[in-house]
Every structure is written in structure tokens, then in C-alpha cells.
Structure 1
Amino acid sequence: MTSLTIDTQVSDIVTALPQSADLFRNLRIDYCCGGKIPLKEAAEQRNLEPEEVLKSVKLIEEKRDTRNSLEPSSFGAKTLVAYIQEKYHAGLREELPLLAPYVTKVARVHGENHPHLLRIQEIYKILRAELIEHTEDEDQNVFPLILEFLENPTHELKEKVKPHVFELEEEHDNAGRLLHELREITNGFTPPESACGTYRLVYARLEQLEKETFEHVHLENNVLFDRVREAI
């Protein structure tokens, strides 16, 4: 990524770092129609210290880069589970509620002329509910059971674990189908030429959600669950 400075345009910051839109929204800095001005100017218009705003942007960037810098497939089971929970489960609980208002706004403002946005809103609502329920079930019930089984692979624990793994993989498949539909109806998350900043932001963050969900599912299906199957 190009180094972000107080001279970087607000719209370019949001393009490079979509999650920064939440910060700008909270600070009431316009990143959409009025976003083509330097961060310094935008901050000063709101009587904010530009360097302090930039520092907040950099923290968001660092958090993202830290999450992306590790190679988890070689982790031990406990570390792998902790990594999945920190990077993906916590990430979903943070991102899904933050993105929801943008999805709703774009559907409300542009849905009449772009009806597929109403379907995006429907899919997002389903996906959000299913992913939150799914991750909570893993954290509270399935992951502790998997770790116990991998530590002590008894016949009794094996019979408890097997149906859970099958059920989770079915849920992963369903999430994958919803994400596939999102990609199809958004033309590969490519917004129309006339799309406003919020419209583009929704597409960028949906694409990021797809990417991270596929990484998340890969680590569970093809790394963690494979270890369970090998122990069975």
C-alpha cells in the first residue's frame, strides 16, 4: 500500500483501507461526495487535529496488517483455534454490525434503480445472522470439544466430535453459496461507473468479507478439521 499521509485524499484512504470509513463516519468527515480533498483539509474543516486523525487511520491499518502477517497452517491446535477466533471470529463480530448500515443505506437510496441491491441486503441479513450464530457455536461448544479430542482422542469423544464437524462443514457450504450469489449479482464486486462512494464502499467491504470468509473456512475445513479426521 502507498504510505498514507495527511496529504492523502480522504477518498483514496477509504479506497485503500475500507474500514477507515467507520472512523470518518464517526468523525463526520465526508469520504463520499466531498472526499476528494486531503485528510489535512478535511480534518481542519471539522476542527480536528490532522495528525491525530492520521494516527487513528494508521492504527486501523496496523491492525489489518497484523492479522494478515501470520502463517497459521503450521500452528499447534490450541494456537490455531485462538488465531481463528482472534482474526476471523472477532473480526466478523466487529465488521458485520459496522457494515450493515451502509448496506441498508445503499439499498434504500439506490434500490429502486438497481433492484439487485435489495437482494444484496437480503443476503447480507441472512449471512450476518448465520455467521454470528456459527462462530458463537464454535467458540462455546465445538472448539473446546475439538481441542479436548485432539488432546485425548478417546472413542467417546470421537463420537461426540464427528457430527459437529459434519454440521459445521455444511454451514460453511451454505455461507459459500451466499457469497457466490453476492459475487454473481455484483459482477464480481464491480460497482457501476456512476456509483457513489458509499455504493463503492459496500462492494469493497463485501469483497473483503468474501476473501476473509474463504480464508477462515479453509483453515477450519482443510487444516483444523483435517487434524480431527486424522485422529479419528
Structure 2
Amino acid sequence: MSSFTLQTQVSDIVTAIPQSADLFRALRIDFCCGGKIPLEEAAVKRKLDPAAVLEQIKTLETKMVDYQQSRPGELTEPELVKHIQNKHHAFLWEELPALTPYVTKLARVHGEHHPELLRVQEIFTDLKKELLEHTEDEDQNVFPLILKFAARPDLGTAAELKPHVSELEHEHEQAGNLLKELREITSDFALPEDACGTYRLVYQRLEMLEKDTFAHIHLENNVLFERIRAAV
């Protein structure tokens, strides 16, 4: 059962479900400076149906709960590939473009007084490019080879896979280094005293991105790729 009602404050919803900021932004509901009001009041101000907005929030909440509860367990290679695509790849394709305008705004508005935010924007831009290209390569080229090998292991497919796996692990290391630098320059995503709602939102979602990406890398490097090596 959802914990949100029409009387839940908009700012509290965004704190619990950071992705709800995208919905509020699209609906032009202020979740930052004017977020300390009930959802019903905020919706009425925008001439929106409060119940319909609440329903959209509940959908996001269900999606987040399903995401958090999904576990790879003892999956077969095809199941593991599907799990990585449905959980981690889908998250990146949705979250990276959605987060971009917030990171850009944060650097533009606060970069003068917090110059580290300019580097945060650079790192995020590099990370976004690398991760989207990386996942596309996996989906289009590497995962089909892994599925082929899982169905019928042979030396030819194994030899074809080997350089791909090495390259992916190298790219994982690059992404990991960017994330480590991001955590370092933000002092573990610590917020300054003058942090606004957008500041909090960006840091919260960057930390979520870090957590998901490291879980993603672990599943590939230490589970999927290890199984491929063991089968050769």
C-alpha cells in the first residue's frame, strides 16, 4: 500500500522518490522552493486533478519498489543478461537523460560559488556518454554473443568474445574512476549550507547512479564474465 496521500508534501515525495521531480517538473509543480505544501494544494494551483497526479506518483513508487526488490539470485546466463538489461540498462537509458538538465542548471546557477560543480558537470557528461555507448555495445554486440555461447559453447565463439569482455572490463574501470572522482570532489555528496532543492536532488540522484552502476559492474565483471571464463 502506498505511503503517499493527497496531504503528503511535494518536497517529501521528491525526497522519497527522486525521479518524481521529473514528473513535477513536467507538470510545472514547484518541488524546490515552494515544495512545502500538500500535493493536493500544489495540483489545484496548477489546475490539475489531484487524484490523477497522486496516481502517477503511486506508479513511480511501485516502479521503484520493484526495482529495489529485484535480485539476480541463481540466474542462468540468459536470465542474467535479461536482468542486467531490464534493471541496469533500462535505468541508465531513463535516468541519464532525465538528470542532465538538473546537473546543467546546478553548474550554471551555483558554479561561481562552488567551482567543483563545473567539474561535476564535466564528469557527468563524460559518464553519460561512456555508459550509454557501453550499454548499446553490450545490447547490440556482446550480449548476443554471450547468449550464443551459453546456448552452444565452442572455442570459436569464446575466441570472439574474449576481446569484447576485456574491452568492457576496461570501460568499467574508466566509469568506476569517474564515479570515484565524483564522490571525492563532492566530499561524499555532502551538501553546502546554501544548498537548494535542485542541489539536494542532483546529489541524491548522482549517489543513486553511483550505487546502481557499481552493482551493474559487479554483476558483469564478477558474475557474468567469470562464468564465461570458467566455461572456456
Q: TM-score, normalised by structure 1?
A: 0.97
User: In percent, how many aligned pairs have the same letter?
Assistant: 63
Q: CA deviation at 1:193?
A: 2.2
Q: CA deviation at 1:152?
A: 1.5
* SS in structure 2 of the partner of residue 48 of structure 1: coil
Q: CA RMSD in A?
A: 1.2
Q: Distance in 1 between matches of 2:140 and 2:197?
A: 38
* SS in structure 2 of the partner of residue 153 of structure 1: coil
Amino acid at match of 1:54: L
Contact 2:2/2:61 (CA < 8 Å) preserved in 1? Answer: no
Q: Distance in 2 between matches of 1:219 and 1:106?
A: 32
Q: Distance in 2 between matches of 1:148 and 1:123?
A: 35
1:123-143 deviation digits (Å, cap 9, x = unpaired): 000000000000000000000
Alignment of 1:150 onto 2:127: no
Q: TM-score, normalised by structure 2?
A: 0.97
Q: Distance in 2 between matches of 1:61 and 1:84?
A: 21
Q: Distance in 2 between matches of 1:176 and 1:16?
A: 26
Amino acid at match of 1:196: C
Matched positions, count? 232
Alignment of 1:74 onto 2:69: no
Gaps of 5+ in 1: none
Q: Which runs of 4+ in 1 moved over 2 A?
A: none
Name the counterpart of 1:61.
61
Aligned pairs for 1:53-132 (under 5 A) are 53-132=53-132
Gaps of 5+ in 2: none
Aligned pairs for 1:148-227 (under 5 A) are 148-227=148-227
Q: Distance in 2 between matches of 1:181 and 1:2?
A: 37
Name the counterpart of 1:29.
29
* SS in structure 2 of the partner of residue 5 of structure 1: coil
Amino acid at match of 1:219: L
1:2-54 deviation digits (Å, cap 9, x = unpaired): 81211111111101110000000000000000001111111111111111111
Q: Give the stretch that moved more between structures: 144-153 or 20-29.
A: 144-153
Name the counterpart of 2:9.
9
Contact 1:89/1:135 (CA < 8 Å) preserved in 2? Answer: yes
Q: Give the stretch that moved more between structures: 185-194 or 201-210.
A: 185-194
1:161-198 deviation digits (Å, cap 9, x = unpaired): 11111111111111000001111111111211220000
Q: Distance in 2 between matches of 1:27 and 1:190?
A: 29
